Structure 1
C-alpha cells in the first residue's frame, strides 16, 4: 500500500536483536580474521538458498573453503542443481523477458542487507506492483461479497467503503496504542535502548495472542467480526490476511514492522539472479586472491545430504553423507534447509557414542516449528492484454484466487519471446490447501472462472489467454525439500524461536548460548532461525550469524571496533528478551 510520508519508515532492523548487518559489512569489510592455521578450512554448507549462499560467500571471504550441498535439481543449473531455495524464478524460454516468481517475489526497501548484496553484485530493482501502490499499480480491485471496488490508493478505499473505513481506523488506533509507530521511530533514530524497551513490552503483551484475537479483543482493536473480516480481506500489508488469523500476533507485528510503509521492489530478471551472483561473482580472500563459490566447488554443488554425524568434540568437526554415497569430514557444517528435514529426510546423529547433536531444548524447538502452506498459479503471455482495464494491477478477493497480480517485463529477450505474467492466484495457509490436490488445469480453470466474474470486461480475453498460454503452478507444502514456504509462529512459540536464533552463535569452544545444549561444530541457519520469518533479508542475516559462529569456532576474531552479532548477544541494547522474562511486568 502507499506509504504515509508522515509515518516513521519501515524497520530495517529486527527488533528482537537490532543488529545492523548491512552497516557491519559496508564497503569491503569482512566478518573478521581467521588465524593462519584455519585458512582453507573446509566447511560444509547444506542448502544453496539465501542463508546458505550468504554464509558460504562470507566464509569464502574469511578464507574458508565452503562446500555447498543442494537437493533441488534444475536442468540449467550448475551440475543439474538449482540455486536459490525460495529464490525460485522460472523463465520458460531464453527468449522470454517474462519471469514467474514461484517463491520470493517482493522486497521492502527496508531490506538494507539484501540491497547491500544486490549493489555489490550490480543488480537493480524496480517497484513491485503491490496493492494500493498507485501509480506503480494502476488499479487495485477489492472484490468482497460479490461486490467489486476499483481504487488506486488505500485512501480511496477508506472514502468509498464505510465498513472498511471503520475497521481500518480501529486498526490504526490499536497499533498506535500498542506503540508500534513509536517503535519505528526508535529504530529510525537508532535508539536501541528504546527499541529494546518498547519491543520487549510488545512481546510480553502479545506473545499469547493470535492476530484474530488482536482484531477482536477490546484490549486490541476491538472490532466486530464483520470489521475484522473486511480489514483482513482488503489486506493490511503485502497479503490478504484473513488466512493468517491463527498466526501469533508477535510474528504479525514483525511482518508489519518490516513492510508497512515500505516501497516494495522486485528484480526485473528474477530474484534467482541474486542466487546466481552469490555463486558466480568473484571476491577476494584475506590474501587478496580472487575466487568464487563456483570455483571452490568445481563448478557445481554436491548432491543432497542424507546424514550428518556430529562428534561431541568440536575440534573433530562433522562428517557429511550425500545421496551419491559420498562421505567427507569438515571443520564445521552449516545446515540451512527447513528444519523439518531433520525429522524426515536428513539423519542427524552423534558420532562415537557422543551426545545428541541437539539437546532437549533445541530438539523441542525443531519439532515445534510451524510451517505455512503457500501456492501460486500463473500464466505466461506474449503481451499484457490487460492494459487499460480493471485487471491492470492487483485483485484482492474473498473468492478462491484471493490475490492476483499482473506484471509486464518489457520487450522480450529474443524473437518469439513472452513479456507478461498474470499471477492468477497467490495464496497462503488454508487457502493454499484448498487447491493442493488439484491439477494444474483444474487450478487454471477455477481461477479463470472466478477472475472472469470479477472482471467481466476482460473475461473473454482472459479465457483466450488461459486456453493458449503456458501455465505454471507450485504448492510449497507439497515440495519434498520445503514442506511449506516459511515459518510463522503461533502463540507460545517465542521460546522455541529464541533457542533457534541463539544456536549458531557459538563460542570458540563450540558451546551454544542455549543452556544444556552440547558443544559441537554444527550450526543451524535459514529462515526458520530468523526472528522475522518470510523475508529474504532476514534469512540472509542468519547466514551471517552462522558464518560468525564458524569463524569464532575456528579461532577467528572480529574487528574490535566493529563487534559482530555474537559479540553483542548479551549487550543490554541488543539482548533478545529471554523466555523466562516473558511474564515480567
Structure 2
C-alpha cells in the first residue's frame, strides 16, 4: 500500500486487535467443552447483539444457553423483543420501508457484522451517508442560516470561508499524531507497530477532550469559529459539536474504525440480524442441528430482577425473574446496559460482605456516561424529495441536526410505502431539547426547520407530514436503556480497560482486574467494548464472554484457532496500561 494513498478504516479494534471475524469464519467455533460438561446450562441476560452472539456461539460450542429479555413486543417470540438497539420498525406488512430506531449504518470495516449477516441471509446496501458522493445525491450543510450544497466534504473548502483551514488542519493533526499510520499498520497486520503507536496516543491524550484537541496548538490548533464549523459539518459519522466534551480517545477510536469507509444498511432492517441469531439452524459440538429458538422453547424468558452469584464459581449463578421464577446455572452472561446493575437488577452474594463485583469494576460501572439520542422518522408512500435539495442528507445547526432520505424500493404489497425521511437524528443536548415533546410536536418542529432550509419542497413536505406516518424514540426515556449508549470522557481509560477485561477473570495466570472475585458472572455488551455504539464491537464483547464461560467450564480452543483470551498474555494484544510520568517527590 502506498504511504500516500488513504488508509482503510480499521477492521479490528486497536485497543485489543483480535480478529473476531477470522476467528469465527466458516465453521470455526469459539471453542469446545469437555465431554463431561456438554449441555451445561448458561443464563444469557439480554437479547441484544452481544447477548445473542454469546448465546449463539455457546450453543455451537456445546452449552445450553437460556436467554432472558425484558423488552416486550407483540410480534416478538413469546411477546419479547429481540435485538436491543438493533430495533427496526416496519409499520405495515405491505411496506418495503423500515425505520431503524437504533443501529442503522455499518462501516465496511465491520467484518463481523457482515459475516453474521451474510450467514443469516441479510442483504447489504450502501447507506446514504453525508458526503458519500457515489450514493448520496446531495449533502446540504445548513449553518448560520446559509446553505452549502455539496457532494464531497472537500467541496466545502471553496464554499465556506474557514472550513478549508479547519478541515485541513484536522486531517494534518490526525496524521501527525499517528492515527493514519495506525490504520496502515492494522491493514498490514503489524500489531507490534499498532501497539506502540496506540500506547503513545493513549499516554499523550487520555486526559484530553475532543474540544481541547481541536483548539490546542498541539492538536489541530483551530479557532473557536473553525472548531464550531467543523463540529457542525462533521469529521466522521455523528462526530458533532455536541460531542466536544467527550474524551479525545473516544473520537479517535470512531475515526479509526469508520473513516474512510463506505457505510452500509440492511435492506430488511437490522432486526433481521437478531432474528437470524435466534432462528438460524446451526450445529452443536456433536454436529446436531439446533437453534437458540429450539433450546429456549420458542421464546426468551422474562426480565431478570436479581442474580445470586456464588463465591465458589463451580456453584454458578441463581437467576431470579420478574414472574417469581428462579433457576441455578453453571454461569451467567450479563449484557444489558450496566447502569441496570444499579437501578434494575440486584446482584448479590450469599457470603455477607462479599460483592460479586470487585471495587474497581463497581467503580467503572458507576462512572459510565450515557448519551441521550433521539430519532424521528416519517414513512411516506413515495420518495417525494427526488430532484430537490432534500434528496440526500441535511446537516444543520438547527433543531433537526441531521436528516436523511431513504428509498427501500417497490412496496411489498398493495398500498405499501417505500420511502423514509429521517426528520431528525440527534445526540446529547440536541436530543434533550425534544425529549419531553410529543411525536406530533417533534414532527412539526423538524418540518418547520427543514421547510425553511429546502423552500422548493416546503409545501410538499408539509403535506406529506400531515398524511404520512411518523415514529420517534428518545433512548434516554426507554426504561431498559436510559440512553443510547455510553461514551467515555477524559480520564476514563482505566475504567474502560477494567470493564473490557472482566471476561478474563484469572485465566491468564493472574486476575485481569486486580481484586475481582473469580465467580461465574461475566459482563458483556456495548458498555464493555472499546468503541461504543458500533454493533461490531458489541458482538465481539459477547464472544469474549462466551470464551470466558467455556474456559470456566473446562473448555478449550479448537486446534489452530486460539480465542481472544488465549492471546491475552501476548504483548501485542492485552489492552495498554497508562504509563505514569516520572514525578519528583515534593520537598
Measured against the shorter chain, the TM-score band is: over 0.9
Alpha-carbon distance in structure 2 between the residues aligned to 1:353 and 1:468: 61
The answer for unaligned runs of 5 or more in structure 1 is none
User: Could you say which residue in structure 2 is the equivalent of 1:33?
Assistant: 32
User: Could you say which residue in structure 1 is the equivalent of 2:143?
Assistant: 144
User: Could you say which residue in structure 2 is the equivalent of 1:475?
Assistant: 474
User: Could you say which residue in structure 2 is the equivalent of 1:76?
Assistant: 75
Q: Alpha-carbon deviation of 1:113?
A: 0.9
Alpha-carbon distance in structure 1 between the residues aligned to 2:177 and 2:520: 41
User: Could you say which residue in structure 1 is the equivalent of 2:570?
Assistant: 571
Alpha-carbon spacing, 1:474–1:583, altered in 2? closer, same or farther (3 Å) = farther
Q: Is the 8 A contact 1:506 1:552 kept in 2?
A: no
Q: Is the 8 A contact 1:507 1:552 kept in 2?
A: no
Asked if 1:267 is matched to 2:263, the reply is no
User: Could you say which residue in structure 2 is the equivalent of 1:321?
Assistant: 320
Alpha-carbon distance in structure 1 between the residues aligned to 2:206 and 2:134: 37
Alpha-carbon distance in structure 2 between the residues aligned to 1:149 and 1:48: 43
Q: Alpha-carbon deviation of 1:162?
A: 2.8
What's the Cα RMSD here? Answer: 1.5
Alpha-carbon distance in structure 1 between the residues aligned to 2:154 and 2:218: 26
Give deviations 1:447-495, integer Å, cap 9, x for gaps: 0000000000010000001111111110001111001111110001111
Q: Is the 8 A contact 1:510 1:519 kept in 2?
A: no
Q: Is the 8 A contact 1:312 1:519 kept in 2?
A: yes
User: Could you say which residue in structure 2 is the equivalent of 1:135?
Assistant: 134
User: Could you say which residue in structure 2 is the equivalent of 1:305?
Assistant: 304
Map 1:497-508 onto structure 2 (within 5 A): 497-507=496-506
Give deviations 1:14-64, integer Å, cap 9, x for gaps: 101100011111110111121111100000000000000000000000010
Give deviations 1:524-579, integer Å, cap 9, x for gaps: 00000001111000000000000000000000011352221111112111121124
The answer for unaligned runs of 5 or more in structure 2 is none
Q: Is the 8 A contact 1:511 1:518 kept in 2?
A: no
Alpha-carbon distance in structure 1 between the residues aligned to 2:391 and 2:248: 33
Q: Secondary structure at the match of 1:531?
A: coil
User: Could you say which residue in structure 2 is the equivalent of 1:196?
Assistant: 195
Normalised by the length of structure 1, the TM-score is: 0.98
Give deviations 1:285-319, integer Å, cap 9, x for gaps: 01110000000000000000000000100000000
Q: Is the 8 A contact 2:505 2:513 kept in 1?
A: no
User: Could you say which residue in structure 2 is the equivalent of 1:525?
Assistant: 524
Q: Is the 8 A contact 2:125 2:264 kept in 1?
A: yes
Deviates more, 1:272-281 or 1:345-354: 345-354
Q: Alpha-carbon deviation of 1:506?
A: 2.8
Alpha-carbon distance in structure 1 between the residues aligned to 2:503 and 2:319: 18
User: Could you say which residue in structure 1 is the equivalent of 2:248?
Assistant: 249
Alpha-carbon distance in structure 2 between the residues aligned to 1:524 and 1:264: 29
Q: Alpha-carbon deviation of 1:121?
A: 1.4
Q: Alpha-carbon deviation of 1:582?
A: 5.0
Alpha-carbon distance in structure 1 between the residues aligned to 2:582 and 2:194: 17
Alpha-carbon distance in structure 1 between the residues aligned to 2:507 and 2:489: 34
Alpha-carbon spacing, 1:225–1:382, altered in 2? closer, same or farther (3 Å) = same
Q: Secondary structure at the match of 1:504?
A: helix
Q: Secondary structure at the match of 2:504?
A: coil
Q: Alpha-carbon deviation of 1:508?
A: 6.0
Alpha-carbon distance in structure 1 between the residues aligned to 2:457 and 2:402: 17
User: Could you say which residue in structure 2 is the equivalent of 1:9?
Assistant: 8
Give deviations 1:166-187, integer Å, cap 9, x for gaps: 1001101111111111110000
Give deviations 1:254-282, integer Å, cap 9, x for gaps: 00111010100000110000000000001
Q: Is the 8 A contact 1:107 1:535 kept in 2?
A: yes
Q: Secondary structure at the match of 1:11?
A: coil
Q: Secondary structure at the match of 1:157?
A: helix
Q: Is the 8 A contact 1:311 1:354 kept in 2?
A: no
Alpha-carbon distance in structure 1 between the residues aligned to 2:279 and 2:505: 29
Q: Alpha-carbon deviation of 1:219?
A: 0.5
User: Could you say which residue in structure 1 is the equivalent of 2:425?
Assistant: 426
Q: Secondary structure at the match of 2:566?
A: coil
Alpha-carbon distance in structure 2 between the residues aligned to 1:463 and 1:123: 34
